[in-house]
A and B are shown apart, each in its own frame.
Chain A
């Protein structure tokens, strides 16, 4: 029965599809027909098409099979049949990457390329260039030059585009074809013109003067092709961006004149270019916006989409400029293309007034179910910015978000909503209760463990500080009863936070936690037991250290670290409320297990967690084609990488565990002969200065490179580790080890530096250096060691609890007048920079219009001492006055920090 059905289906849809169920091996077998004489063009053409089809389906063809088929194919050059010949060209291109010895067909293709048949010549050039490499390019250069200026447009275009493909690998050769390209731009054929301009720009793109000439020459209406115009607009835009020229530039006049071009493609390209320029005023934008406005009512969906998408971009920077289009955008809300409708609404949300918010939200909700998740995310992002813009509308927006949360949707979409609600809660205290309530409701029915744990964590942090903390406990405890182990564990932690923060709830929380001690999961049970014990102590500093602020460890290898702890049965691990990096922890634990000792393992030897590398990287590449920001999988932090690098230097083995590494600091101009960056690595008693040097002279090799540092007061240079050799453009590192002063309060200093090395001249082409060299030196900028180098940022989610935990024993207080600062924001920025501490509880943001503010900073000082700073700032006519209070677990640390600002 099944067989019958399938047969029938095949009959229906295949209907004799000659390519259905093609076997790769059968087709390859059939290529042997090519060897028969005389050649039957129809039969061979059919087989060749099958072969192309199989390759196009993505079948993996091995090099041997491909080579065999390729050689059989070359026999077909004997036939003059045009279709067959052209299919062969395609076959050659498709197989040029998989078969061996493809250059065998070079001479045949060259014959076709220069032959009489015009319809062969273009495709033959393209096929030839796909099998040519740099070494063979010389032999066809003459023909390529001729082909570029050929009268037949197809030949010229083929030669131009192939030159561009070739220039990826053989830039130098194609550069010599610039005159031919120049001539081709004057062609009457629009595609030749476009391709020639593209090649010309590519050859000259690094010569700014030449590019400027190029644009000014062709902007005077000598081009026919709309594609060439679009390209020219892009070149002009790039020039304006690079020169930072505003609307006064002649380039801008050219772009603006393109708004009146007859082709829609060019008009749109010009409008888009104007919108993307950075230094534009509302006046510059106006003509572009009015063109886009016209496009909004076009019957072509693509044009409407393009227009509304660009208007959306304008609205991000200049919402006022788009308000004129509001009416047209409103018409697009009901567009059949949901992408257009969504973009229209989100644009309106950005430009609209507070009063229109309710109406628009109602309209969106009518088709939310119809649009793709990607666009839903766009909507959520628009709502997020609305929440920030109109704080008073939070109830409408929150309700909308809550209803979106209830709807179907993927993880990314749900996550975006949750993020949006959390951001709103943090920005706007009034929205907190409603937002938490929505989130509570969401976790009642949430299939995503990650989101549930995230929300539970948030509830634990924010819930206890609301007027009625008790109402959240029910939601959280429900999770303990209903969810999987990870969520249960998070719920247990959240409950403990309520107990730690609110005394009146302490008893009930302990009761709830005691019930969890019977849980089936180890983790949940362990947590519950632990929290019950801590809470029963009823000591504020204990609950602060272990429950409210806890540890912050970078996630990497956490499991591995724990695993190794269990495996080796370490019983002596004593941990204090430190922020540690797990890679470091793992390494320290490993070290500890290798050298069994009686002393307990001390967490203070483990480096602190720093921001993971991924945080910096993802943001750097916005908008690049196809670069959908994939999260960096490498979870090792920058610091962990440095630690690894330093550990590899044997001379630096005994300095202890790395505490902090600074950001790289340039101590030469980036354009000089030798380019040097300095990274300061702080250890408990030492500092290692890592100098990353690059030799930018191609006729020199540097040997025994060191950096000579004059030690500041109390510091002592212990060792220099030279970089043995520094060839051209290969970075190398040299290290200088400095012992820190014995006096714990003197920690800052300035080090004048000189680069010392032995120079050997070398041949720039071969890199072969002379035998003899001479000593030379190069003066670098001074390196400064500041207080911030001794401090690691640590986030304390509950600052007040930590403040009490450290206690007033080592408290220092002083008042300063910061006369050079004119605003609170500026003062805060500078204080953070000087001290290198982490602002807590969002205290680095000053509410608008306030004249006084309190800044909370937290961190760990070298040696593992907690350091907390409270700075009360007041703004008056003479500047900013600051009362600085420092608490620390070590008296000298307090002193260092209190005097850092002065």
Chain B
């Protein structure tokens, strides 16, 4: 009797597979809403998470989130293409030295909005790190990076997209950072500036 049954299995497995759609590439009408971001992330050059915020339940567990990050990293770390459709979502990204910045949104989201958030994300962190966008500096200023992320996106809503405003809100103690943690070049330029201004002052006082 088993003989009679089994051919059927194949017909049905065929039928079932016809309905598996890999990634939905066609758009639909977007529900007008402020919730436009699914995730923000910064990964290092091994694809490890330095910071990641997820704003909806696309990836409910930490395990799923990390798996997603790994896959995304593998797809993006070589080709510097700025934008990719990935697992049915739109991801925009940017990298510098050993850091990778990602902004993830729904595949129906306006790509340019996502890109504007990415720019703000990158630029404000770049300002906070004084253009020194690399892992070491990032980790040294992790508190400010957390605060900046918090000012850019609140629960999936874009809170601020202007890097200057973000930096101003974060209000880090710029002059407060211990000497050892600044690069020599920066210190040099700073000293030069001080020197310059001293010179100016002397000049003006002489002219008076």
Instruction: Closest B residue to A242 by CB, please name it.
Output: B29
Count CB-based A-B contacts (< 8 Å): 285
A710 contacts the other chain (Cβ, under 8 Å)? no
Q: A164-B34, A302-B112, A624-B28 are in contact. Are A552 and B8 (CB under 8 A)?
A: yes
A residues adjacent to B (C-beta < 8 A): 13, 15, 17-19, 45-46, 48-49, 52-53, 56-60, 82-83, 86-87, 89-90, 93, 119, 122-123, 126, 154, 157-158, 161-162, 164-165, 191, 194-195, 198-199, 201-202, 205, 227, 230-231, 234-235, 237-238, 241, 264-265, 268-269, 272, 276, 300-303, 305-306, 309, 313, 316, 336-339, 372-375, 377-378, 412, 415-416, 419, 450, 453-454, 456-457, 489-490, 493, 523, 526-527, 529-531, 546, 550-555, 558, 562, 565, 573, 575, 612, 614-615, 618-619, 622-629, 631, 635
In Å, the complex CA distance between A310 and B185 comes to 46
In Å, the complex CA distance between A623 and B108 comes to 8
Q: A18-B139, A626-B88 are in contact. Are A161 and B22 (CB under 8 A)?
A: no
B residues adjacent to A (C-beta < 8 A): 1-34, 38, 46, 49, 51-53, 56, 58, 62-63, 65-66, 75, 79, 81-89, 92, 106-108, 110-116, 135-136, 139-140, 142-144, 146-147, 150, 154-155, 157-162, 169-173
Q: A269-B110, A626-B58 are in contact. Are A575 and B1 (CB under 8 A)?
A: yes
Instruction: Closest A residue to B115 by CB, please name it.
Output: A302
DSSP class of B's interface residues: helix, strand, loop or mixed? mixed
Query: Is B88's CB under 8 angstroms from A628's CB?
Result: yes
Query: Is B29's CB under 8 angstroms from A90's CB?
Result: no
Query: Is B111's CB under 8 angstroms from A302's CB?
Result: yes
Least CB distance from B188 to A in Å reads 22
Query: Is A565's CB under 8 angstroms from B1's CB?
Result: yes
Query: Is B79's CB under 8 angstroms from A338's CB?
Result: yes
14 contacts between A and B (CB under 8 A): A19-B142, A83-B172, A157-B160, A158-B154, A231-B32, A303-B111, A337-B81, A453-B10, A454-B10, A457-B11, A553-B12, A573-B1, A626-B56, A631-B19
Q: A154-B169, A157-B160 are in contact. Are A453 and B4 (CB under 8 A)?
A: no
Instruction: Name the A residues within 8 Å of B115 (CB-CB).
Output: 300, 302
Query: Is B8's CB under 8 angstroms from A553's CB?
Result: yes
In Å, the complex CA distance between A726 and B116 comes to 53
Instruction: Closest B residue to A16 by CB, please name it.
Output: B136
Query: Is A90's CB under 8 angstroms from B146's CB?
Result: yes
DSSP class of A's interface residues: helix, strand, loop or mixed? helix
Instruction: Closest A residue to B89 by CB, please name it.
Output: A626
Least CB distance from A412 to B in Å reads 5
Query: Is B106's CB under 8 angstroms from A83's CB?
Result: no
Q: A191-B161, A227-B161, A623-B108 are in contact. Are A629 and B19 (CB under 8 A)?
A: yes
Query: Is A234's CB under 8 angstroms from B81's CB?
Result: no
Instruction: Closest B residue to A277 by CB, please name it.
Output: B29
Query: Is A622's CB under 8 angstroms from B136's CB?
Result: no
Instruction: Name the A residues within 8 Å of B29 (CB-CB).
Output: 237-238, 241, 276
Query: Is A305's CB under 8 angstroms from B111's CB?
Result: yes
Instruction: Closest A residue to B81 by CB, please name it.
Output: A337
Instruction: Name the A residues within 8 Å of B12 (CB-CB).
Output: 552-555
Instruction: Name the B residues within 8 Å of A339 (CB-CB).
Output: 81, 83-85
Q: A17-B139, A201-B32, A614-B19 are in contact. Are A230 and B110 (CB under 8 A)?
A: yes
Query: Is A377's CB under 8 angstroms from B22's CB?
Result: yes
Query: Is B5's CB under 8 angstroms from A558's CB?
Result: yes
Other-chain contact of A301, B31, B66, B83, B150 (Cβ < 8 Å): B83
Least CB distance from A838 to B in Å reads 13
Least CB distance from B45 to A in Å reads 9
Least CB distance from B140 to A in Å reads 8
In Å, the complex CA distance between A268 and B106 comes to 16
Query: Is A489's CB under 8 angstroms from B16's CB?
Result: no
Least CB distance from B115 to A in Å reads 4
Query: Is A234's CB under 8 angstroms from B19's CB?
Result: no
Least CB distance from A271 to B in Å reads 10
In Å, the complex CA distance between A89 and B13 comes to 53
Instruction: Name the A residues within 8 Å of B87 (CB-CB).
Output: 628
Least CB distance from A841 to B in Å reads 15
Query: Is B49's CB under 8 angstroms from A57's CB?
Result: yes
Instruction: Closest B residue to A422 by CB, please name it.
Output: B14
